Amino acid sequence: MQHAQTAYNASLDNVRELTDEDVASFVSAERLAAVEVYTQWCGFCRALAPHYAALADEYRGWIAFGKIDGDFNPRYVEDNEVQAYPTVHLYLDGERVSTALGFVRPPELRRILDELIDRA
């Protein structure tokens, strides 16, 4: 898979904002899904945001990307034992198969996403 190398010009068009009420249906409806758990006050979350959006653009059609605000969705945070922000959960057929904690550099996150595709 050929990937763009920039987060510039990335939009949130391909990242769905999720809540406690709809996150389960989002991950179960998609073969492959990524869910970023973030907060508004988290500096590392703000740093990851443009890269995550760029990856959502790159992987469109392969992986569904969502994000959920941990401050406003405590059930997801508690049920998934989120310990740090940002956290990216990766799902295959509705089951969480991988977790990336903290600010993960885009090349590493890309490698993790490619591994998810390879597992599918």
- For residue 81, the domain's CATH number is 3.40.30.10
Q: Provide the domain limits for residue 97.
A: 15-119
- Cβ distance 104 to 51 under 8 Å? no
Q: Does the residue 86 lie in any domain?
A: yes
Q: Does the residue 6 lie in any domain?
A: no
The Cα 110–Cα 95 span in angstroms is 20
Q: Does the residue 10 lie in any domain?
A: no
Model confidence at 33, in pLDDT bands (50, 70, 90)?
very high
For residue range 65-114, list pLDDT tens digits in order.
Answer: 999 999 999 999 999 999 999 999 999 999 999 999 999 999 999 999 99
Neighbours of 87 (CB within 10 A): 22
Q: Does the residue 103 lie in any domain?
A: yes
Q: What are phi and psi of 32, to 5 degrees?
A: -125, 135
Q: What is the count of structural domains for the chain?
A: 1
Q: Does the residue 4 lie in any domain?
A: no
Q: Does the residue 2 lie in any domain?
A: no
Predicted local distance difference test score (pLDDT) of residue 27: 97
Q: Does the residue 54 lie in any domain?
A: yes
- Write down the mean pLDDT value for the chain: 91
Predicted local distance difference test score (pLDDT) of residue 13: 84
Predicted local distance difference test score (pLDDT) of residue 6: 39
Q: Does the residue 104 lie in any domain?
A: yes
Model confidence at 11, in pLDDT bands (50, 70, 90)?
low
Q: What pTM did the predictor assign?
A: 0.90
Three-state DSSP class for 10? coil
Q: What are phi and psi of 17, to 5 degrees?
A: -75, 125
